[in-house]
Amino acid sequence: MRRVLMPGTGPDLGTDLDLDHAWALHPQVSLRPEPFGALLYHFGTRRLTFLKDPRLVEVVRRLPEAASARAACTECRVPASELPAYSAALVSLVGTSMLVERSHA
Protein backbone atom coordinates (compact mmCIF):
# COMPACT_ATOMS: atom_id res chain seq x y z
CA MET A 1 0.00 0.00 0.00
CA ARG A 2 1.29 3.46 -0.82
CA ARG A 3 0.22 6.82 0.54
CA VAL A 4 0.96 10.38 -0.44
CA LEU A 5 1.23 12.75 2.50
CA MET A 6 1.35 16.52 2.67
CA PRO A 7 0.34 18.72 5.60
CA GLY A 8 -3.41 19.21 5.58
CA THR A 9 -4.10 16.03 3.58
CA GLY A 10 -4.76 12.43 4.43
CA PRO A 11 -7.31 10.72 6.64
CA ASP A 12 -8.71 12.51 9.66
CA LEU A 13 -7.90 10.20 12.57
CA GLY A 14 -9.97 12.37 14.87
CA THR A 15 -7.05 13.43 17.03
CA ASP A 16 -4.02 15.67 16.92
CA LEU A 17 -0.50 14.59 17.65
CA ASP A 18 0.85 15.81 20.97
CA LEU A 19 3.48 18.17 19.61
CA ASP A 20 5.08 18.43 23.04
CA HIS A 21 6.10 14.76 23.07
CA ALA A 22 9.25 13.34 21.51
CA TRP A 23 8.77 11.26 18.35
CA ALA A 24 11.03 9.35 15.96
CA LEU A 25 10.85 7.09 12.95
CA HIS A 26 9.94 3.51 13.82
CA PRO A 27 13.15 1.41 13.94
CA GLN A 28 11.95 -0.53 10.88
CA VAL A 29 11.31 2.60 8.80
CA SER A 30 13.71 3.99 6.23
CA LEU A 31 13.54 7.54 4.87
CA ARG A 32 14.85 7.98 1.35
CA PRO A 33 15.21 11.50 -0.07
CA GLU A 34 13.65 12.02 -3.49
CA PRO A 35 13.37 15.05 -5.81
CA PHE A 36 9.69 15.45 -4.83
CA GLY A 37 10.34 15.06 -1.08
CA ALA A 38 10.97 11.61 0.39
CA LEU A 39 9.82 8.02 0.59
CA LEU A 40 9.16 6.30 3.89
CA TYR A 41 9.24 2.51 3.77
CA HIS A 42 8.27 0.32 6.72
CA PHE A 43 10.07 -3.01 6.42
CA GLY A 44 7.73 -4.67 8.92
CA THR A 45 4.38 -3.67 7.42
CA ARG A 46 5.71 -3.15 3.88
CA ARG A 47 3.93 0.22 3.71
CA LEU A 48 5.24 2.93 1.47
CA THR A 49 4.46 6.59 2.13
CA PHE A 50 5.39 9.53 -0.07
CA LEU A 51 6.18 12.79 1.70
CA LYS A 52 5.66 15.52 -0.86
CA ASP A 53 6.30 18.57 1.30
CA PRO A 54 10.00 19.41 1.76
CA ARG A 55 9.38 21.09 5.11
CA LEU A 56 7.51 18.01 6.39
CA VAL A 57 10.46 15.86 5.29
CA GLU A 58 12.81 18.10 7.28
CA VAL A 59 10.53 17.96 10.34
CA VAL A 60 10.49 14.14 10.18
CA ARG A 61 14.28 14.06 9.80
CA ARG A 62 14.74 16.27 12.87
CA LEU A 63 12.34 14.34 15.13
CA PRO A 64 14.92 11.86 16.52
CA GLU A 65 17.15 14.64 17.90
CA ALA A 66 14.51 17.24 18.74
CA ALA A 67 13.17 17.57 22.27
CA SER A 68 9.63 17.38 20.86
CA ALA A 69 7.69 17.49 17.61
CA ARG A 70 6.97 21.16 18.34
CA ALA A 71 10.72 21.81 18.65
CA ALA A 72 11.34 20.06 15.31
CA CYS A 73 8.64 22.22 13.70
CA THR A 74 10.16 25.36 15.23
CA GLU A 75 13.62 24.40 13.95
CA CYS A 76 12.10 24.03 10.47
CA ARG A 77 10.37 27.41 10.74
CA VAL A 78 6.85 26.01 10.52
CA PRO A 79 4.53 28.98 11.22
CA ALA A 80 2.22 28.61 14.23
CA SER A 81 -0.76 28.91 11.89
CA GLU A 82 0.40 25.73 10.08
CA LEU A 83 1.05 23.61 13.19
CA PRO A 84 -2.40 21.96 13.08
CA ALA A 85 -1.74 20.76 9.52
CA TYR A 86 1.69 19.41 10.47
CA SER A 87 0.21 17.78 13.57
CA ALA A 88 -2.38 16.05 11.37
CA ALA A 89 0.31 14.85 8.96
CA LEU A 90 2.42 13.49 11.82
CA VAL A 91 -0.55 11.76 13.48
CA SER A 92 -1.22 10.06 10.15
CA LEU A 93 2.36 8.75 10.23
CA VAL A 94 1.82 7.51 13.79
CA GLY A 95 -1.40 5.79 12.66
CA THR A 96 0.52 3.83 10.03
CA SER A 97 3.38 2.96 12.44
CA MET A 98 5.90 5.13 10.60
CA LEU A 99 6.49 7.22 13.75
CA VAL A 100 6.71 6.09 17.36
CA GLU A 101 6.82 8.07 20.57
CA ARG A 102 10.25 8.27 22.17
CA SER A 103 10.63 7.63 25.87
CA HIS A 104 11.66 10.49 28.12
CA ALA A 105 14.63 8.55 29.49
pLDDT digits (tens, 9 = 90+) for 70-102: 999 999 999 999 999 999 999 999 999 999 998
Considering the chain, what is the average pLDDT of its residues? 86
Considering its fold, how many domains does the chain have in total?
Answer: 1
Task: Write out pLDDT tens, residues 10-28.
Answer: 434 445 678 999 999 999 9
Look up the CATH number of the domain holding residue 40: 3.90.930.70
The parent domain of residue 77 ranges over 2-101
DSSP per-residue letters across the chain: -EEEE-TT-S---SS---TTS-EEE-TTEEEEEETTEEEEEETTT--EEEE--HHHHHHHHHTTTSSSHHHHHHHTT--GGGHHHHHHHHHHHHHTTSEEEPP--
Task: Write out pLDDT tens, residues 26-72.
Answer: 999 999 999 999 999 999 999 999 999 999 999 999 999 999 999 99
